Amino acid sequence: MPDSNEYLRLVGEAHRKRFGQYFTPPQVADFMVEWASRSGLKSMFDPAFGLGAFHGSAARLGITKFGGCEVDSRILQSWNNGRNGSAGLVEHTDYLLSWNRRPDNIVCNPPYMRFQRFANRKEVGQAFEKNLSLRLPGYTNSASAFLLKSLSELNGSGRLAYIMPLEFLNTGYGRIVKERLISGRHLRAVISIQCEKEVFPDATTSAGIILYDAARTFSHVDFHVLSSIGRLREVLKSKPANRVPASSLDPQSKWLARFSPGEILAHDDGFVPLSFYGRFHRGIATGANQFFVLRPSQAKDLKLSSRELLPCVTKCNQVQKPFFAGTDYAELVRRDQPVILFSANAAKASRAARAYIESGESAGYHLRYLTRMRRPWYKTEERRPSPLLVGVFSRNGYKVVRNTSNVITLTCFHGFQPNLFGGDYIDKIFLFLLSKRGREIVSGSKRQYGDGLEKFEPGDMNRAPAPCADFLDAIDLRSVEDAMACVKSAGALPQQMEATFETLG
């Protein structure tokens, strides 16, 4: 296998990213090839050949029948140099446009890029409709498209091993992929790689290994967590984080929770979706924060009217405590932080506002993607202040805030608006979200990326499990008042309230 560092030196980082190339470490390639070879069939196929990591592993195992595809001529040239007679085993073609193979075994580290970045996404979409009667959702990534195609072409007696991002397990477009994986009950295991920096040092998304055996059926699917690459060889012999009956795997649900033992689902006894009490909505997306977000001193200098300015939390780090009140916002104003949102009414814009709008148009802000979709372009979305806020991104557990101020937020926070029924439960829901047990339960709905980065979408939060009303009703108001006072003073729940939520599940 050619050296990946030498290849990157020759082609540059931009070329690698253009083709979504992340190179497979030898230990991972050896594990995948060895597992796939146990099908008993003698040949191996790699749909995204790259620098030949799987070919090298196959050669070390004595597997001589090996084929592959590669769309990037430059990486193919790097591999072909000096290969003499073996160079022709790799086809220079786009795997997603080359159909009707029937490989014995498939091993692959597919390219990773969003479907919108496919140079030939129209042709790829048409090929999937023609060959699989399948319309690829617009947010499908290339890795998921590769997997869908390989599952359709694998020899009925062969095995498939894929290393790829696992975000599809928790996304809408992933439903189709999960449907294909569980059809026929051939999915053996899914391995979540928690040591992603050992495997893909420069990746920004979670990764895992899919193991699929077309010749066997399995009553259960094992969900393993790999904490160190050195433990990969033994991972299938160890106790899985979760062993899930194949019959209970729902392609509509989020599977990342399956890597946590004893995960809670919203339809379990004693739980309801958070949407039972209200709904989370994303914060305001301006499309041009440089224009819309102002410091108090800037608003003053521009002589803008107060009716054209909204109090707004614009960055997650502007909220440091679990409570945010009007006095906290006033302190941000005193420190001249960027906490004012410009939002003018077209019919009633002041002279100062019109001048500021003209300056924005001179700078081209009205031509941004979001702004050019609005009429007028400078009228921002309308939001009400939300009594509960949850941070969108986190690395050490999500941020939850009880908001009693009149501020709105940008997209750094999702805001919860209770329904008529949920208004009475706001404080109790806040305490649940803040508790250790609540975090364990709700975190099953997150989307996990590389380097420990986690993300929630509003829909993730709305579907997340929450205690049913009977459970919350049983928590007396005096305990709630004491807990809220403790959070205000110490920033954490008292042990008594933690113990209350520990009884969940």
Amino acid sitting at position 163: I
Domain boundaries, the chain: 4-259, 278-285+383-502
Paired tokens of 166: 């696992």
Average pLDDT over residues 468-485: 93
Candidate CATH numbers 3.20.20.70, 3.40.50.720, 3.40.50.150, 3.40.30.10; the one for domain 4-259 = 3.40.50.150
Task: Please choose, from the candidates 423, 383, 427, 422, the residue with its C-alpha nearest in 3D space to the C-alpha of residue 406.
Answer: 383
**What was the pLDDT predicted at 35?**
97
**What was the pLDDT predicted at 275?**
87
pTM, full prediction: 0.62
160 has pLDDT over 90? yes
Q: Which residues neighbour 388 within 8 Å (Cβ) at sequence distance 6 or greater?
A: 400, 401, 402, 403, 415, 416, 426, 429, 430, 433
**What was the pLDDT predicted at 200?**
67
pLDDT digit string (tens) for 215-258? 999 999 999 988 888 899 999 999 998 899 999 899 988 888 78
Between CA 220 and CA 246 the distance in angstroms is 5
Distance of CA 405 to the CA centre of its chain: 31
**What was the pLDDT predicted at 85?**
42
Proportion of the chain above pLDDT 70, given as a percent: 90
**What was the pLDDT predicted at 202?**
62
CB 449 within 8 Å of CB 167: yes
Higher pLDDT, 86 or 22: 22
Query: HEC string of 42-59?
Result: CEEEECCCCCCHHHHHHH
Between CA 477 and CA 488 the distance in angstroms is 16
Please name the residue ranges forming H helices in 99-141: 121-132
What's the Cα-to-Cα distance from 227 to each of 193, 198, 448, 454, rounded to whole Å?
7, 10, 15, 17
Band (pLDDT 50/70/90 cuts) for residue 84 is very low
**What was the pLDDT predicted at 57?**
94
Q: Is the peptide bond before 201 cis (omega within 30 degrees of 0)?
A: no
Angle in degrees, CA 184, 68, 156, rounded to 5: 20
39 has pLDDT over 60? yes
Between CA 188 and CA 212 the distance in angstroms is 5
Amino acid sitting at position 243: R
**What was the pLDDT predicted at 407?**
97
pLDDT digit string (tens) for 324-376? 999 999 999 999 999 999 999 877 889 999 999 999 999 999 999 999 989 89
Band (pLDDT 50/70/90 cuts) for residue 262 is low
